[in-house]
Amino acid sequence: MAEREYQQILELIRTVILPDYRLDQSLFDERKQPVNWKQLYEIAYKQDIAGYLYPGTESLSVPEHVSKIFQTAYHRSVRKEAIVHLEVTALMEEFDRQGIDYLPLKGWQMKKLYPSPELRTMTDVDILIRPEQFEAACRVIEGRGFELNGEIEHHNAYMKKPVTEVELHRKLFAVHSTPYPLFASVWDRALPVREHEYTMNPVDMYMYMIAHMAKHFVSNGAGIRNIIDICLYRRTHPFTAEQTDEINRALEPIELKTFSERISSFADVCFSAGPMDKDQLFLFHYIISGGLYGKAGNGDVMRLMKQESGNKFRWFIKELFPNRERLRLKMEMPEGSISKPLYPFYWIKWMIRGFLKRRENMKKRLVTVTKSKKETEPIKNMLEYLDLKEIYYS
């Protein structure tokens, strides 16, 4: 376990995001113990925060070759941010000209809260479009040279080389998912920025961050960047007692109230340098030891643990023979596209595609499902601690 490197990364994050925070130099004292910069960088790279940590390393006596790799990651982030910002800004300006309402989500909003926007890396830019204008928005983005890269029930994924990825959302979550009812009418509560640009009100924005993070937690996991986002949002948008009550009342029916409370408390502890209790310490290790989107195989363990019986054979059969809705989602097909008579045809197609393209992934899933109770028990305990056993996304 890279405990020392985990603590060093957390300390560097605090240095970057917290105004006037004084870095604890003793954690990097080479006289006590050599700093394993290679391992520290590898952990940061998997979390997609290597460039983010570069400003924090400037106050340390870092070997030149180490400083250079962090600096290179930082410059890569700067370059990507510049390209993506220009492309997406031009896209939004075209939406304005075409009279299409749009609401930028997640990273596009969060980067404004970071000390510098390139520190908040983004895999893609998510934009919510009114359902009745969605087809028009798709024509606009395709007219700007973006290529359709995937289509599921609630969004279309687009790519434009070299680095710009955009997801256009017709809704925030799939209809069958646990959080859907809360966000089905999000446009009714949206706040205008300009004539056609909108943003979520602070309460909705926070609840969406929580619901989206929970989605990652019940798949393969979530990276430390999610926790940084929560910390920064709570610091820049302190909620009143009335707003906190509103959040709790809204999240309770969709089984996310406990998750919200415990993740927010965890974020506060992480970035106040306070002591963590044993549950928070396990959560920290679980998050930081994975990647930006957790670890492959965690999702299978979680889905197995969410079954009341935890029966591995039953889980395997359900994964091997998904119902029509789950098969449609796995194949990223439009809603209602797999009718009952066509199910056998699409199931065979899915199995062949899986055998040809995802053999290694299938092997890993078989390894996952054969893990011992000792290996899966900690994940089960975490699901219970975060109260995520009843959450369903796909």
pLDDT at 129: 98
| Full domain range(s) for residue 356 | 298-386
The answer to whether position 109 is within a domain reads: yes
pLDDT at 277: 93
Instruction: Specify whether 186 is located in the same domain as 320.
Output: no
Instruction: Specify whether 370 is located in the same domain as 275.
Output: no
Q: What gap in Å lies between CA 92 and CA 105, rounded to an integer?
A: 13
pLDDT at residue 43 tops 70: yes
User: DSSP assignment, residue 158?
Assistant: E
The answer to whether position 325 is within a domain reads: yes
Q: Which range has the top average pLDDT, 137-151, 167-181, 342-356? A: 137-151
pLDDT at residue 359 tops 60: no
pLDDT at residue 318 tops 90: no
Q: Which range has the top average pLDDT, 84-98, 356-370, 380-394? A: 84-98
Q: How confident is the model at residue 390 (pLDDT cuts 50, 70, 90)?
A: low
Q: What gap in Å lies between CA 379 and CA 384, rounded to an integer?
A: 9
More confidently predicted of 84 and 177: 84
Among candidate residues 244, 266, 288, the one where a domain is terminated = 288
The answer to whether position 391 is within a domain reads: no
pLDDT at 304: 60
Instruction: Specify whether 174 is located in the same domain as 317.
Output: no
pLDDT at residue 173 tops 80: yes
pLDDT at residue 99 tops 60: yes
The predicted model gives 82-99 an average pLDDT of 98
More confidently predicted of 176 and 262: 262
Dump pLDDT digits (tens) for 362-380.
555 555 556 556 667 777 7
Using alpha carbons, list the distances in angstroms from residue 290 to 16, 38, 42: 21, 16, 11
Q: How confident is the model at residue 291 (pLDDT cuts 50, 70, 90)?
A: confident
Instruction: Specify whether 200 is located in the same domain as 335.
Output: no
Q: What gap in Å lies between CA 156 and CA 165, rounded to an integer?
A: 11
Q: How confident is the model at residue 208 (pLDDT cuts 50, 70, 90)?
A: very high
The answer to whether position 394 is within a domain reads: no
Instruction: Specify whether 224 is located in the same domain as 310.
Output: no
The answer to whether position 166 is within a domain reads: yes
pLDDT at residue 222 tops 70: yes
Dump pLDDT digits (tens) for 250-275.
999 999 999 999 999 999 999 887 88
Dump pLDDT digits (tens) for 45-68.
999 999 999 999 988 888 999 999
Among candidate residues 224, 256, 288, the one where a domain is terminated = 288
The answer to whether position 277 is within a domain reads: yes
pLDDT at 374: 66
Instruction: Specify whether 170 is located in the same domain as 70.
Output: yes
Among candidate residues 263, 288, 313, the one where a domain is terminated = 288
Which tokens go with 277? 């209790």
> How many domains is the chain built from?
2
Concatenated DSSP letters of 81-104: HHHHHHHHHHHHHHHHHHT--EEE
pLDDT at residue 132 tops 60: yes
Looking at the DSSP bridge assignments, the partners of residue 150 are: 157
Using alpha carbons, list the distances in angstroms from residue 367 to 306, 309, 355, 372: 18, 20, 16, 10
Instruction: Specify whether 163 is located in the same domain as 282.
Output: yes
Q: What gap in Å lies between CA 350 and CA 370, rounded to an integer?
A: 23
Instruction: Specify whether 148 is located in the same domain as 277.
Output: yes
Residue with tokens 């994975």: 290
Output the pTM of the full model: 0.85
Concatenated DSSP letters of 366-392: HHHHT--HHHHHHHHHHHHHHT-TT--
